[in-house]
Structure 1
């Protein structure tokens, strides 16, 4: 009997330990929020928990599959919003003095480092910001914050710079979700430039049939990167339709790669905008393989490819695209 009880206690302790490893608690203070106001935790674009304000205080005790992760905290209408790194231990959130966006967060080492990062890059732009971000990643190669930054900036910094920083990172960072994204980028990226030959790839059209860019060899091709959720892309589409109709009988084609992850949204946008050219997507969002190959980090973007397969233009839009096509097709 004593043996059974002892084993039972071990199982209970293990169970408690496993639950604790998959949960975190957050106690928070706010300012001037009415009793009954709902706050929501959001992760991977999904609401994972909610809490109610009482006397400008709230508490979360939330289950997650892995730690650390970056989550968002917001009210129903996103008037109060912030994001931060959570870990599987008690944390504090104090927005009573500085407001929601600048709340003081305690108990999270990744968030402490994230604040250092934000201080270093505050007010910087362009190359100065890139330099500061690179230095942070170099200074803290074992932090989840650094590998997340590198996963976002890899296509901006380029393959070689990314590879240099990635090689210095810990095994944990390399095996993380962000590390896997970087590894895939390094495996696929070719970073073709003007004057280079295009890089072929294969992806599925809206009917599920695989199509290759090389199927359009012998034509002047605009390799267009876009998405249904991209406002600037949708705004440019009427101009692109007009240009396509003007030059399609002169050997001009468009091969459009979408960074959508939802097929219905993708197909609906094609129909709404009346886009009559070839469309493909692997529905992997910004981790789209064609985007990784070509190093696309912002959309809309495009490559103009000559009938000989040479890249002769990049990110051409509106009148600039028309002028280039007139030069080579007339």
Structure 2
């Protein structure tokens, strides 16, 4: 089981001539014009991509021009909804009296946006798989159980297994869809969830990104994000030197990864106190550490915890004696939300591991359990 730590941010990409106006014919034929209706709100102010827009008599209008289809987010008081906008005449109806129990979003009907039609179709396929439905059932069950009870713990573990099963089905579908539809902005958006070489091979990921290169997708922010990740994956490919870093240990001392070069085979392990699969792997990893720690082997655990008290508590509970350091998170409100070192390593899941030779060169990635045992036996000869 792996836990995806990257977040999809649906945001405005490249928009010019954006305006809330009543005259929606100004850009007809060359830009977009949106006629919006909100059921449950007669008048007030809503927020569209962080811009205020006035609602009068339950209606709003929006005009502008896009270089590529873009996901818009509409926030109305405590709820929000999203829909794809392209350069066309679009009608949007948002029903605040009909809130989806799963997404907590109001029912939204969009007419005139072919990209949104595609998005709805793809999303329904993904959410209606048996694996997705099973995961949702377990989530719903968890809401009825007493937190900390045995039933709650058992359900939590079942959720972890169901999430992994759902991830595999979803990633296989999205990979195949992106490979077959290189001009699809929707495919690029869904690929944001699996910018890695775990949900698909590196070769598949590279093929997908290169396929987007000469299409309208290349004009979107989604493409830039995918392209940046491809370059990051190339930097941490097997055979390259691992990015160096200096982080604070659990004793608040500076530790630099390169200080181990020349002496140690190093396993860099990205984890967090809240990552159940990470912590379940530690009994075996402690056996591995005991076997090789005096033979030139070291583990450097990089936590993705922002709560350092929870991090230190987990170290004590798990009795993990290797080097423990905490990653650095960007300030709140930053465009990049993931921590510094895990981003540099293009590690999209917890746990993620990188095995380095004595010169800091990456020997292998994401080895766990038997795979790690075999590799270390090959290196140390026993």
Distance 1:290 1:296 in 2: 9
> Are 1:173 and 2:177 counterparts?
no
Using the TM superposition, give the Cα deviation of residue 188 of structure 1 relative to its aligned residue in structure 2, in angstroms: 3.3
* Residue 69 of structure 1: aligned partner: 73
TM-score (norm. length: structure 2): 0.53
* Residue 121 of structure 2: aligned partner: 116
* Alignment counterpart, residue 247 of structure 1, candidates 288, 292, 310: 292
Contact (CA 8 Å) 2:304, 2:326: kept in 1 or not? Answer: no
* Residue 105 of structure 1: aligned partner: 108
Distance 1:111 1:225 in 2: 37
Contact (CA 8 Å) 1:262, 1:283: kept in 2 or not? Answer: no
Matches within 5 A, 1:1-330: 27=39, 63=47, 66=50, 68-69=72-73, 85=82, 90-92=93-95, 100-101=101-102, 105-107=108-110, 109=113, 112-119=117-124, 123=129, 127=172, 129-136=174-181, 138-141=182-185, 145-156=186-197, 158=202, 160-161=206-207, 163-164=209-210, 165=212, 168-169=215-216, 173-174=220-221, 178=222, 181-182=225-226, 184-190=228-234, 192-194=236-238, 196-206=239-249, 211-217=255-261, 218-278=263-323, 279-283=325-329, 287-329=338-380, 330=382
* Residue 35 of structure 1: aligned partner: none
Contact (CA 8 Å) 1:189, 1:294: kept in 2 or not? Answer: yes
Q: Name the CA shift for 1:26/1:60 in 2 (closer, same or farther; >3 Å).
A: farther
Q: Deviations over 1:264-298 (max 9, x none)?
A: 44344334323322224123698344444444333
Distance 1:25 1:231 in 2: 44
Using the TM superposition, give the Cα deviation of residue 68 of structure 1 relative to its aligned residue in structure 2, in angstroms: 1.8
Q: Name the CA shift for 1:314/1:323 in 2 (closer, same or farther; >3 Å).
A: same
Contact (CA 8 Å) 1:244, 1:252: kept in 2 or not? Answer: yes
Q: Name the CA shift for 1:162/1:140 in 2 (closer, same or farther; >3 Å).
A: closer
Distance 2:254 2:224 in 1: 25
Contact (CA 8 Å) 2:329, 2:339: kept in 1 or not? Answer: yes
Which has the higher mean CA deviation after the structures are superposed, 252-261 or 183-192?
183-192
Which has the higher mean CA deviation after the structures are superposed, 184-193 or 239-248?
184-193
Contact (CA 8 Å) 1:151, 1:179: kept in 2 or not? Answer: no
Which has the higher mean CA deviation after the structures are superposed, 232-241 or 183-192?
183-192
Contact (CA 8 Å) 1:223, 1:255: kept in 2 or not? Answer: yes
Q: Name the CA shift for 1:162/1:228 in 2 (closer, same or farther; >3 Å).
A: farther
Contact (CA 8 Å) 2:178, 2:208: kept in 1 or not? Answer: no
Q: Deviations over 1:17-40 (max 9, x none)?
A: 7xxxxxx98548xxxxxxxxxxxx
Contact (CA 8 Å) 1:233, 1:300: kept in 2 or not? Answer: yes
Q: Name the CA shift for 1:183/1:236 in 2 (closer, same or farther; >3 Å).
A: same
TM-score (norm. length: structure 1): 0.60
Distance 2:353 2:268 in 1: 5
Distance 2:44 2:284 in 1: 49
Where is the helix percentage greater, Structure 1 or Structure 2? 1
* Residue 139 of structure 2: aligned partner: none
Question: Secondary structure of the residue that 2:220 maps to in structure 1?
Answer: helix
* Residue 16 of structure 2: aligned partner: none
Q: Name the CA shift for 1:310/1:187 in 2 (closer, same or farther; >3 Å).
A: closer
Question: Secondary structure of the residue that 2:349 maps to in structure 1?
Answer: coil
Distance 2:96 2:178 in 1: 26
Larger RCO (CA within 8 A; separation ≥ 6): 2
Using the TM superposition, give the Cα deviation of residue 327 of structure 1 relative to its aligned residue in structure 2, in angstroms: 4.0
Q: Deviations over 1:96-144 (max 9, x none)?
A: 9xx74599631485754321222565656665541113445x3333xxx
